[in-house]
Amino acid sequence: MEKYLLQAAHNKDFHECIEHSFNDKFYDWKITVLFYIAIHCLKALASKLNIEIGETHREVEKNINPDRTPHSLPISRAAYKNYRDLYQYSKTARYEGFTDFETFEKLKETDHSHCLIHLSNFQKYIESRGVKLDSCIL
Partner 1 sequence: MIFRRQKLFDHNELYKIMNSLKDIETSTGQKKGQIKAILYLLQTNLDEFKNEVDKSYELLRIGEKTDLSKMIEETLSDPFRSIFNVSSKIDKEVRDIVNRITIGYFKSIKKSTISQVYQNKSHRNDLYYAIVLEEDSIENRSMVFDFFDSYEQLDIAERFPVFFQFVPAELTGKLKHMEKVTLE
End-to-end CA distance of the chain: 19
User: 76 vs 110, which CB is nearer to partner 1?
Assistant: 110
41 with 123: CB under 8 angstroms? yes
User: 113 vs 128, which CB is nearer to partner 1?
Assistant: 113
Q: Which of 17, 22, 68, 128 binds partner 1 (CB under 8 A)?
A: 68
The number of angstroms, rounded, from the C-alpha of 115 to the middle of its chain's C-alpha atoms is 8
Q: Which window, 1-9, 19-27, 43-51, 77-85, contacts partner 1 (CB under 8 A)?
A: 77-85
Counting every residue written for the chain, the total comes to: 138
Q: Which of 49, 54, 88, 116 binds partner 1 (CB under 8 A)?
A: 88
Output the CA torsion sign for 127, 128, 129, 130.
Answer: positive
User: 57 vs 132, which CB is nearer to partner 1?
Assistant: 57
3-state DSSP helix/strand/coil percent for the chain, to nearest 5? 70, 0, 30
Q: Which window, 16-24, 38-46, 47-55, 91-99, contacts partner 1 (CB under 8 A)?
A: 91-99
Please tell me the count of residues contacting partner 1 according to CB under 8 A: 22
- Should residue 111 be labelled a site residue for partner 1 when binding is judged by CB under 8 A? yes
